[in-house]
Amino acid sequence: MRLTTRAPWRRALVNWGGAAALGLSIALPATAEDAPAVGLPFEEQVQVCGACHGNDGNSQQAGTPSLAGQPELTIVNQMIYFRERLRQNEVMTPQARGLPDAEIQALAAYYHEQPVAAPEGGPDPELKARGQQLAAQQRCASCHQSDYRGREQMPRLAGQREDYLIAAMIAYRDRTRGGPDTTMIDVMRGIDDDDIDAMAHFFTYLHAEE
C-alpha cells in the first residue's frame, strides 16, 4: 500500500470510526431510550437524525454519511434494513427500531430534497483523474448514473464524504458490510487500497473546482 498523508486517518477510520458508521459492529440491546426518534414530531425527528448526519443532511461527523440529495429509495431501504436488523449498527439499529414506514418515507423525502454542500478543501487533480479512470473501468456509472447522483436504490456518490466512501468500499471488498446487497461485493473484489482512495476522492470532488 502507498503510504501518504491520507493513509493514517483512513486506516483509523476503517479500524474504528468506520466500523460504527457502516454497521460493522454488533448492535447493542435496543430499548425505548435507544430509539428517541420513534413517535416524535417530524421536526424533532430531523433534529435527532441531524445530530450525526446534519440537519440539512450534510454530515460534519467523521465516518458518518451525508444524506442530502440521496435517492429516497436508497434511504428508505437502508432504514428498513436497520429496523429489521438486516444491517446491524450500535447507533442506527436502535434508532430505526419501531419506526413505521410512513415516518421513514417522510425522512427520506426530506433529505432527498436537501442541497448537497460542497466538500471542504479542494481536490488533488492527479488523484481525482486516477479515480475517474478507475470508476470508468469498474463501470460505476452503469448503476449510479453518469453524474453519480444515484437512482432508486443506488446511492448518490457525488459529494459524499470521502472518509465514508473509503470505509464503505473497503467493507464491501472485505465482505464485512451487513445487508442483503451483494452486488458491490463482486464489484469491489480485488480492488486495492490505493485505488479505493482514488475513486473516493473522485466521487467526493466530482463537481468541485479544480
Residue numbers in the known binding site for heme c are: 49, 52-53, 92, 140, 143-144, 184
The whole-angstrom separation of Cα 81 and Cα 75 is 10
Q: How far is CA 65 from CA 38, 40, 91, in A?
A: 21, 23, 13
